[in-house]
Structure 1
Amino acid sequence: MKAVCATDLSAASEATIQSETCLECIGRIGVDELHLVTVVPSNVHAGMPGIDFEKRRRRALERYSRVVEDAGFEVETHVVRGTPHRRIRGIAETIGAQLTIVGSRGQSPLENRVIGSTARNLARTTVTPLLVNRIEREADDPDILREHLFRRMLYATDFSTNAETAFETFSYLRHATQEATLVHVETPKDPGLEESNSDSQLAELADQLENWGIETRTDVRRGDPADEILAAEAEFVPTTILVGSRGHSRLRRLLLGSVSEDIVARANGNVLLVPPARDV
């Protein structure tokens, strides 16, 4: 299984790559080939200060690659030029990656314009599952906020086809998952709310996970989906939220529902965003 790990060579990005726990977790779900990608901004041209970006980034990636190789992965490095989210997505598609990993410091408005913007743009456009690895926001030498990436999962579902696609990732996540919380949020706009069978639908999903030895609870809520999913995160403290993306059309990607984008931007912990299955 191939994965792309995007880095801007900041301390936040380095925290993901240097974490033995994170590497162990992605290895446990079947990743054996890791592609380290860094993007030189397209507005950096010859003659400008910092034009040695590419050489410096190659040296940094060589250092990271030794860490990843020592953890038992095959490694390839890519230093490319352009718009970060487009180039990261392009490499993931080219190599046939099953996972893209990007670090993010979280909710700071200023940082979201810079670091968080790549994560958000990838959330809108990715065609492979996207793991947003949350990093400490205020520290000079930051660490990841929640280790053991997939140990405690919070899976949010609206029972759509796209949510089912996200649930299917448990087929490999189960090798690293011990606990799961399955959440469905009913809204006042839901048709037939009074006759809802959400509890039984969640129970069926829970049975599948219990058969894999995953301790599972279910939780049906009412209200705004993003707010309630984040409230469930605060209550159950999962290591990662698993959610599907609806990005079928260009407009939908811009709005993103906009539940998925809200969760990527506002979650305290990690988020695994799964896009719709591609037509073959």
Structure 2
Amino acid sequence: MRFALNQMGFPAEGLESNAELLAEAGYDGIEPNLTADGPLWDDGAVDAFADLTDELGLDVPAVSTTLHWDRPLSSPDEETRAAGVEAGERMIAVADALDAGAILVVPAVVDEGTPYDEAYDRALDSVRELAAVGAEAGVTVCVENVWNDFLLSPLEFAEFVDEAAEAGPVGAYFDVGNVRRFGRPEQWIRILGDRIERIHVKDYRTDVDTIDAFTYPLEGDVDWDAVAGALGDIDYDGWVTAEVPPYRTAPERMPPRVRSDLAHLFS
């Protein structure tokens, strides 16, 4: 396994400072997020970041974003949906420049104005559109399971990935903690099998029924032995990226501690 930290947990300001901190903490990779006004929209900044990660011996497992909550790929509004596709296309370009090989997308948001069946069809079209672009760049479009009231079973998740992959490289970015709310991650892992291209990890407390249930690995109710066993069963030996926030106090202490826990769980 190779270990990385998502930008959600960066303890310092700026990609450069955090890259240096993660390299010092022994991480193999750093996972940046495309934000609305962040540096990843600037080609020069992306090139500089690529040079720095090479110098530090870090790789980029994927490029992620939260923009698809505001610009859903399933939106009934064509302009909003097009903005989401545009963000995905930029992520592919950045991933190509950083040799990341993958992007993370939230495929849909189901709400009062977006019925499930319509969200499915529009999300499928959008992900297929991105997959065709990704095919040209050698970048896999990875669909993540999140709290979006969509793809609520591993069987449906697998079917969606398979349907989208007809247009180009599409896989699953499987988030262990996100599933524990309504299922068992180890079961999802075995069903998704080799569709899984990347792994996000965080823990989840089943006695808390809000977003506050998320916590750091080893502090919740995920059966990590079962998760590691399931990953072994499908011969997964790729990226494991922590997606957790920095500590409120002494935030710089979180990355090395989580890195140590990842090695304990998966090495």
TM-score (norm 2): 0.31
Q: Name the structure where strand makes up a greater proportion of residues.
A: 1
Q: Which has the larger radius of gyration?
A: 1
TM-score (norm 1): 0.30
Q: Name the structure where helix makes up a greater proportion of residues.
A: 2
